[in-house]
A and B are shown apart, each in its own frame.
Chain A
Amino acid sequence: MVYFEKFTLDNGLRVIVNQDKTTPIVTINIVYNVGAKHENPERTGFAHLFEHLMFEGSKNIPVYDTPLQMVGGDNNAFTNNDITNYYLSLPKENIETGFWLESDRMLELALTEEKIEIQKNVVIEEFNQRYLNQPYGDAFKILRSLAYKKHPYQWPTIGKEPSHIKKATFQEIKKFFYEHYAPNNAILTVAGNVTKEEIKELTEKWFGDIPSRKLADKKIPREPEQKEPRKKEVYREVPHDTIYKAYHMCDRKNEDFYATDLISDLLANGDSSRLHQRLVKEKNVFNTIDAFITGDIDEGLLIISGSISDKTDMKKAEEELQNELNKLNQQPPANGELEKVQNKVESIKIFTRTSTLHNAMNLAFHELIDDAENINTEINKYKEVTPEKIQAVSNKILKENNCSTLYYYSKK
């Protein structure tokens, strides 16, 4: 069990306190309800660029990192298509420095043209390092643009292209801040050897006077149903042919979510999974294969990717993969097989709880989607899934008309 308490400040900031008496470290996590899906299609990569700018000094603090390191703390952040998440950890004795830092950058940033230019460069190098300089680095970028035609999940967090980042202006950046970075658009979690009373006093002191802000209109277009198979081929300087198949799935709050997650586990989580045993070990048409869900808040994707064995070819491997998917559609899994993946989910959930950082992050994320209490109850929803439910959801999802396939060929 993860024990926690919640309260909300008058300005709309939601606060969650997770008391853990065994740790000398306090973790402060803030999730802002803004991600790449909230971007203007002509200014993609903005939410992520902004994450970088949040470290470039705020109204009263010229450099974010210096005071934090001065008190023995450390921090990081990430952006995805739904959210931007910031976290820091520091010795309990110095908790107030964390509040000072986080509240000041929610209040107001101290940006300059020069700082913005440098971070644009850093982000472009990140783009290069992650997407262009890695074999298969652009695969998911291509896959997204194939799978989504309307919904902004069609571009990756880093953006469609570096030129969008280059074009961002000071005015646009300022506007973005006030429309998204606001107490009424954030959830703060504090985990460590702290009490609710203590945290209430500190949050009221440091965040209480930050005004609520008028948020941007967040209407996001829904992705229309896919009606026919989508396919694309690319040729690159990579060592092996690789196939990527992306299937549309439900959103994070839909009851089908848990069955879909378990389907990806049945297919490829662990050495005993179907695709690994049949296609890697038995037939060796793939040399590695993976299946996972994107876990997005809106309607996401179930993705299967496999690196094809040198002894076979793309078409043959795809056929063998299709056979395995058909089996899942035709017959519900045996009770024991389903139990296996359910047990594994239970283990992962419990292992994750040994980390205060993960507890802080997951509490905030669950609260943002729906309710922090789901951190404890979600496991039951996985356990309630029946073999028949798996088959039903599998039939809904795993079909060619719902699939985008990327054939990533090695240019040999």
Chain B
Amino acid sequence: MKKPDRSKFPESKTITEAPLPTANKTRLTNNIPVFEIEKGNEDVIKIDFLFRAGNWFQPKPLVATATNEMLNEGTINYTSEEIAEVMDYYGAFFKTGTNKDTARISMLCLNKNLEKLLPVLSEIVKSPIFPEKEYKIYIENKKQQFKLDRSKVSNLSRIHFNEALFGKEHPYGKVLNYEDHEYLNPEDLRNFHGNYYTPQNCNIIVSGKIKNGTHNLLEKFFGNGWQSNQVKKIPEFTPEPTDKKEIFTPKKEAVQSAIRVGKRLFNQHHPDFAGMNVLTTILGGYFGSRLMKNLREEKGYTYGVNAIIISLVNEGYLLIVSEVGSKVCRASIEAIYEEIKRLKTEKVPGKELQMVKNYMMGDMLKSFDGLLPLSSTYINLVEHKLDERYFQNMIETINNIKQDDLLEIANKYLNEDELIHSIAGTCE
């Protein structure tokens, strides 16, 4: 038996390449782009529809979310209950979701059940009717959900942070109010669906074990017969940030305060995105990051703290987020600002930089591994109008970026007077 030498780091290899995911790109006859990603250990298939139908496009608050969440509450030929029965009986996982830019419809099922499910799925996508009765229950539950959400400090800190970054009237900053639930009606949802859930506004991503007949099935249910004349103009908005440095939302009895620190940056198309991504990872993008070391491992102020660049279709922002003991709230914010400042004044030590590079490459490998990570990585590309070159560029940056480059980026984008922070809870 070989004896291990425990005192030495075992031999290892620096990972400088990753096998990029590829998609077979085709179109249906009505011109909908289809991205097929073959990933087949098990006989399962996942279909995702992306529509440019997020908050950005809504004529009034809540329309985008409500439309998306009520798609399966009744269609021309199926009641809400029948839809639920079919989805459950054939073991499908059906999910919808919206964000600021995009509306998604997603179904994961066993290949053997796909043909049974498509007639229902196609009605959900193309011909929902938003029945009055279901709408009433939906909106009542939504109101209760609203109250629950607003009782959490993490949500309070988030919405006021976004409002300060982008302004009250901008779709990325606008805050939903309780009264908004009253002003909505099912007709709004029908109109929104008619205007934005159209073939020309749609992308389809298929992943899993893709069979010979899969494309024909998609064509049958979502191709030729599905047409629309709607050409909607894309609304335009300009961010109007407030000049407040600190936004404080009190919540008595909170034992921890939720804090957010950050500033506006740019979207993923910007030439400095990749470099800024490396810098953000150093700051707080992994377990051994500077913020985790400082706030968690050295001071014990928090269970966790993260830094990330939030990417929206038209914008992006740096976000540092944590929940900290109320007594150390001020001290935590100071420590975060201090760590940001350090990125501007000190070179990142070579060893630390190498570690972050290796970590990021490993992380990228993982985002290409397994059906669900791969599909969500690809959906993200399509949503942000990117292609595989995005990863190629990220890999090149990770491999080549130098200490001086990072110093330059930090000084270009991390000016203290542009940073803002939002606190919700009690801060002593």
Which residues in A have some Cβ–Cβ distance to B below 8 Å?
Answer: 20, 22-25, 59-60, 63, 65-67, 69-75, 89-91, 93-94, 96-97, 99-100, 103-104, 107, 117-122, 125-126, 128-129, 132-135, 201, 204-206, 208-209, 237-240, 269-273, 276-277, 280-281, 284, 287-288, 307, 309-311, 336, 339-341, 343-344, 346-348, 350-351, 353-357
A91–B358 Cα distance when bound, in Å, is 10
* Nearest neighbor of A342 in chain B, beta-carbon distance: B91
Q: Could you tell me if B362 and A90 are in contact, using CB atoms closer than 8 angstroms?
A: yes
Among A134, A204, A273, A355, point to the contact of B1 (Cβ < 8 A).
A204
User: Given A60-B6, A69-B359, A74-B366, do A277 and B84 touch, yes or no (CB 8 Å)?
Assistant: yes
- Interface residues of B, CB < 8 Å — how many? 79
Q: How far is the CA of A121 from the CA of B332 in the complex (A)?
A: 15
Q: In the complex the two chains form, is A346's CB within 8 Å of B10's CB?
A: no
B362 touches A122 (CB 8 A): no
CB distance from B357 to the nearest CB of A (A): 9
Secondary structure type dominating chain B contacts: mixed
The CA-CA distance from A150 to B138 in the complex, in Å, is: 43
Q: How far does the alpha carbon of A204 sit from the alpha carbon of B4 in the complex, in Å? A: 9
Q: How far is the CB of B329 from chain A (nearest CB, A)?
A: 12
CB–CB A128/B256 < 8 A: yes
Asked if B93 and A22 sit within 8 Å, CB to CB, the answer is: no
User: Which of B6, B18, B84, B109 interacts with A59 by CB under 8 Å?
Assistant: B6
Q: Which candidate, B184-192, B193-201, B296-304, B306-314, is the interface stretch facing chain A?
A: B296-304
CA distance in complex: A336, B6 (Å): 59
| Contact surface of B with A, Cβ cutoff 8 Å | 1-4, 6-7, 9-13, 15, 18-19, 39, 41-44, 72, 80-81, 83-85, 87-93, 108-110, 134, 137, 140-141, 143-145, 147-148, 151-153, 253-256, 286-288, 296-303, 323-325, 354-356, 358-359, 361-363, 365-366, 369-372
Question: Is A343 a contact of B90 with CB atoms below 8 Å?
Answer: yes
A94 contacts across to B, CB distance below 8 A: 12-13, 15
Chain A residues with CB below 8 A from B3, complex form: 205, 209
- Nearest A residue to B356 via CB reads A69
Contact A272 B12 (CB under 8 A): no
For A1, give the chain B residue with the smallest CB separation.
B42
Q: List 20 A-B contacts (CB under 8 A).
A: A24-B19, A24-B369, A65-B288, A66-B288, A69-B362, A72-B15, A72-B363, A73-B362, A93-B15, A122-B300, A125-B256, A125-B325, A128-B325, A133-B153, A205-B2, A270-B88, A272-B88, A339-B89, A340-B85, A354-B42
Chain A min CB distance to B81 (Å): 6
Instruction: List the 6 closest pairs (A to B, CB-CB), nearest first.
Output: A72-B362, A121-B300, A347-B91, A271-B84, A272-B84, A239-B147
A15 CB, nearest partner CB in chain B, Å: 15
A67-B85 CB under 8 A given contacts A129-B323, A237-B253: no
Indicate whether A71 sits within 8 Å of B44 (C-beta atoms), given known contacts A134-B152, A344-B88, A351-B93. no
